[in-house]
Amino acid sequence: MKLIDGKKIQTEMIEELNHKVSDLMFAPKLVIIQVGDFGPSNKYVAQKKTVGEKVGIDVEHIRFYEDNTEEEILNKIDELNEDPKVNGIMVQLPLPKGFDEDKITNRVSSKKDVDGLTTENIGLLFDGKNAFTPCTALGVMELFKRYNIDLKGKHAVILGRSKLVGKPLIACLLNENATVTVCHSKTENLSSITKKADILIVAIGKKHFVTKDMIKKGTVIIDVGINVEDGKIYGDVNFDDVKEKASFLTPVPNGVGRMTVISLMNNVIKAYQEQSK
């Protein structure tokens, strides 16, 4: 089994993107809009600011609270859409109860939608056209590329159909000519499907759900899961159980999670370059 080291790839990409930014006329600017004071979201915003600083991207954090109106948030997004100094805008999810997630994320200009969550970008992605790809999906695809994992004609099975991971990965994998099967909570005879997978991507949020009896020998396994229990982080895949059968395997932590933030920075630089044209 070969370990897919997200931490190592993130370090390499920080250096590569830093070189890209140093060649630009101005530092690209990302604005993160956060609503509320949700602990995990605070942590993710802090990570984005840290990685942005290493890359050379100017990251501004704008916080709203539950007593702010949706209209105030939408007005701020409109203002940022019109600001030529702002290259990327992202809304930190989840939003507190009562806020319309689709309405707020879709207010971001598709040209500044570095999270890849607007309906326009999702449509372009599925059409195989130039689009901003959601960052976790983009990170997974970068890992395949960096480890020379050929997707053409391979049977890729995705566990999970979320807007952030499962659904965009369908388009990404199809665009690379993989054969794609998507499984979810209503899928019957799940093991019979996962045993046929050449590539298995797991994003369901269940600790150690995938075990060695669910895979065939030589499967490439990408574990997107993050499950916190007693202060420790676990993946959706039982790493120690499957490692003898897998050909490639991501750890948790230091696997896909490391790729999400650096992929966001990659999208910000892409937005800067496209807006500069």
User: Can you give the pLDDT at residue 169?
Assistant: 98
pLDDT level of residue 136 (50, 70, 90 thresholds): very high
DSSP 126-193: HTTSS-PPPHHHHHHHHHHHHTT---TT-EEEEE---TTTHHHHHHHHHHTT-EEEEE-TT-SSHHHH
pLDDT level of residue 85 (50, 70, 90 thresholds): very high
Does position 277 have pLDDT exceeding 90, yes or no? no
Residue 5 is encoded by which pair of tokens?
């080291």
CATH entry 3.40.50.10860 includes domain 26-110: yes
Active site residues: 48, 92, 115
Does position 167 have pLDDT exceeding 90, yes or no? yes
Residue 24 is encoded by which pair of tokens?
């630009």
SS3 58: strand
The yes-or-no answer to whether 26-110 and 135-257 have a common fold is: yes
Does position 143 have pLDDT exceeding 90, yes or no? yes
Q: Average pLDDT for residues 20-38, to the nearest whole number? A: 97
Burial string for 142-162 (b: 16+ CB within 10 Å, else e) reads bbbebeebebeebebbbbbbb
pLDDT level of residue 158 (50, 70, 90 thresholds): very high
Instruction: Spell out the domain ranges in the chain.
Output: 26-110, 135-257
Express as a percent the part of the chain with pLDDT over 90: 99
Does position 150 have pLDDT exceeding 90, yes or no? yes
Q: Average pLDDT for residues 216-244, to the nearest whole number? A: 96
Q: Are 235 and 222 in contact (CB under 8 A)?
A: no
User: Rounded to the nearest 5 degrees, what angle is found at the Cα of 50, between the Cα atoms of 48 and 52?
Assistant: 65
pLDDT level of residue 197 (50, 70, 90 thresholds): very high
User: Can you give the pLDDT at residue 141?
Assistant: 98
Does position 120 have pLDDT exceeding 90, yes or no? yes
For 46: left if phi > 0, alpha if psi spans -120 to 50, otherwise beta; the answer is: alpha
Instruction: Report which secondary-structure segment, H or E, holds 121.
Output: helix 119-126
Q: What number does CATH give the domain 135-257?
A: 3.40.50.720
